Amino acid sequence: MEDAATADVTGMMESELGLYVDEDGWVDAASTCTPRPAYQRNLEATRFRVAVCHLSHFGVFGPAEQTFFDIYLPLALRPGR
């Protein structure tokens, strides 16, 4: 069971968070099992539970479009010539 504080998931859709395993790229940990287990979610307690079928490095992420942010670099101006 992964336990996250509410402040850790501020701005994220808690119902879309998942446990991912590093297998030459991050994949949903539930996909390592056959049949694929369902996530059990307790949104009020900010918790979820899912079965995994092997041990590895894990991370909790939201959907791909939610985990990437626009990065704005500082604007550097140079006087005209």
* pLDDT in the model for residue 69: 55
- pLDDT per residue, tens digit, the chain (81 aa), is 455 556 666 667 778 888 898 888 888 899 889 999 999 998 888 788 998 888 888 888 876 554 455 666 676 667 765
Looking at residue 26, what is its pLDDT?
85
pLDDT of 4 reads 55
CB 46 within 8 A of CB 4: yes
**Secondary structure letter of residue 54 according to DSSP:** S
- Measured CA distances, 11 to 7, 14, 19, 69, 75 (Å): 9, 9, 18, 12, 27
